[in-house]
Amino acid sequence: MMKGAHLANFSMQALRLAGYALIFLAGVWFHSSGALEAMGAYGEDIRYLTVQHLQLTAISGALAIVIGIPIGVLLARRSLGVLGPVVAQVVNLGTTIPTLAILALAMTVMGLGTPPAIFGLTVLTLLPIVLNTIAGIKSVPPALIDAARGMGMTAWQILWKVELPYALFVIFAGIRTALAINIGTVPLAFLIGGGGLGELIFTGIDLMEPGLLLAGAIPTAALAVAVDLIGAQAQYWLVPKGINPLR
């Protein structure tokens, strides 16, 4: 446990450092590519699109959490018999569907605009949350449930007081993964009219203007790093001490 925690801590720090290094290198290149001027010139657009980008992430992420955790809890029920694992496997298969395909499907059904973008993003973000919730709940030792039942807890009380707290750390890990995927995918939402920083990136590509492209890409990367940092802090502080391997 302790060893694993150290390892996780270490790899997380390494990742973070690598992230900073990347940002720095990007900065150097970006200076020489004329991106600075571009960012200056598009400052207003960047600000507007970043807010839009974050809105897409916040809405789809919140929806995914609110929908994903209950689905995961449901699929982890032992009373479901074989149905639980079967559905979980289907969900697992879902993770292999390419992002663009999901967005394209959402578009064919719902048309262009923000709603299909949010729908597609929600579906994508849902999967890791559902899978981690299932894994977290399944990892609760049967003896713990037995003790809880033997002391007179109802099924609801066992879920709230025993299973969810026990699974919380793993669920949090799922949420962090999901949000990282989400932020990185939001630019694609532009393709179906969802807005966000993808507008700058794809316009940059179309016009073969690296400055413009970077003006979209760099804030996107920075957002991903920032959101993960916030997620890490939330995971550290919100998961109770007794079951938090980081504390």
Partner 1 sequence: MIRLENVTKTFDSYMAVDNVSFEVPEGEICVLLGPSGCGKTTTMRMINRLTELSSGRILIGGRDIMEVGATELRRGIGYVIQQIGLFPNKTIEDNICTVPDLLGMDRKASRKRAHELLEMVALDPAVFAKRYPKQLSGGQQQRVGVIRALAADPPVLLMDEPFGAIDPINRAVIQDEFLKLQSALKKTVIFVSHDIDEAVKMASRIAIFKSGKLVQYDTPDNILAHPVDDFVADFVGGDRTLKRLQLVKVADAMQADPPRVLAETPVAEALALMQKHDHQSVVMTGPRGRARGLVRRAQLQGAQGMVGDHYERIPCTIQVDDTLRNAVSMMFSNDQTWLACVDQDGFYRGYLTQRGITHLLGATYRDA
Nearer to partner 1 (CB atom), residue 18 or residue 238: 238
For residue 31, give both structure tokens. 């200076």
Report, in Å, the least distance between residue 176 CB and partner 1: 20
Nearer to partner 1 (CB atom), residue 92 or residue 244: 244
* Distance between start and end Cα atoms, the chain: 11
DSSP one-letter code for 77 = -
Contacts of 52 (CB under 8 A, 6+ apart): 195, 196, 197
Report, in Å, the least distance between residue 151 CB and partner 1: 5
Handedness of CA 48, 53, 54, 56 (dihedral sign): positive
Report, in Å, the least distance between residue 219 CB and partner 1: 38
Nearer to partner 1 (CB atom), residue 63 or residue 153: 153
Nearer to partner 1 (CB atom), residue 108 or residue 154: 154
Where do runs of H (alpha helix) occur along the chain?
2-32, 35-41, 43-75, 83-94, 99-110, 114-138, 142-150, 155-158, 164-189, 198-206, 210-238
Nearer to partner 1 (CB atom), residue 98 or residue 141: 141
Report, in Å, the least distance between residue 33 CB and partner 1: 50
Nearer to partner 1 (CB atom), residue 151 or residue 208: 151
Report, in Å, the least distance between residue 73 CB and partner 1: 16
CA-to-CA distance for 186 and 178, rounded, in angstroms? 12
Report, in Å, the least distance between residue 169 CB and partner 1: 10
Contact residues: partner 1, CB under 8 A: 1, 141, 143-144, 146-154, 157, 161-162, 165-166, 168, 240-243
Report, in Å, the least distance between residue 81 CB and partner 1: 16
Nearer to partner 1 (CB atom), residue 69 or residue 91: 69
CA-to-CA distance for 202 and 187, rounded, in angstroms? 8
Cβ(73)–Cβ(133) under 8 Å? yes
For residue 14, give both structure tokens. 């390494």
Residue type, 245: P
CA-to-CA distance for 123 and 102, rounded, in angstroms? 8
